[in-house]
Amino acid sequence: MRLIQSADELKALLADQPSTRACSCSLGGCAGWESLSEDRWPADQMQAVATLRNPELYEPTFEEHHPQGTRYDSAEAPVALKFFPYNRCELWRCGQCQRHLLRYTEFGGYYVDHRVRELSPKLDIID
Ligand SMILES: [Zn+2]
């Protein structure tokens, strides 16, 4: 899978593959990080586009980056590629609405939790 390590690369990819349709699919908005279990993830229509996780980093940082005072689940939080949770995300594209979505998995003691956020072209993408 393609590896994306800079904000410029990610912006170029989004510019190349614009979202053309309003979303009507089962994923819903996902403006902040939404917990989306495997059975709500429409795997048939999702296409893996790239990974943001650097394979040479054994343990990416859990530090978050919010220069404008946003929080983890804020709809306006920037997409800060070197920080949690973007540093462990995969980028997916929905074949139905053409939106790009970021997804990563939280591992708890007895559960895994898939988190999804729409990569809206309106968001700030930073390194
Ligand atoms: Zn969709």
Domain map (residue ranges) of the chain: 2-126
Q: What is the pLDDT of residue 24?
A: 77
Dist. CA 82 → ligand 1 center (Å): 26
Measuring CA to CA, which residue among 60, 113, 59, 114 is closest to residue 87?
60
Dist. CA 92 → ligand 1 center (Å): 10
Q: What is the pLDDT of residue 18?
A: 81
What three-state secondary structure class fits 126?
strand
Dist. CA 26 → ligand 1 center (Å): 7
Dist. CA 97 → ligand 1 center (Å): 4
The C-alpha atoms of residue 67 and residue 54 are separated, in whole angstroms, by 23
Give the pLDDT of the chain (127 residues) as one tens digit per residue.
Answer: 899 999 999 999 999 888 777 777 888 889 999 999 888 899 999 999 999 999 999 899 999 999 999 999 999 999 999 999 999 999 999 998 899 999 999 988 888 999 999 998 889 999 9
Q: What is the pLDDT of residue 111?
A: 86
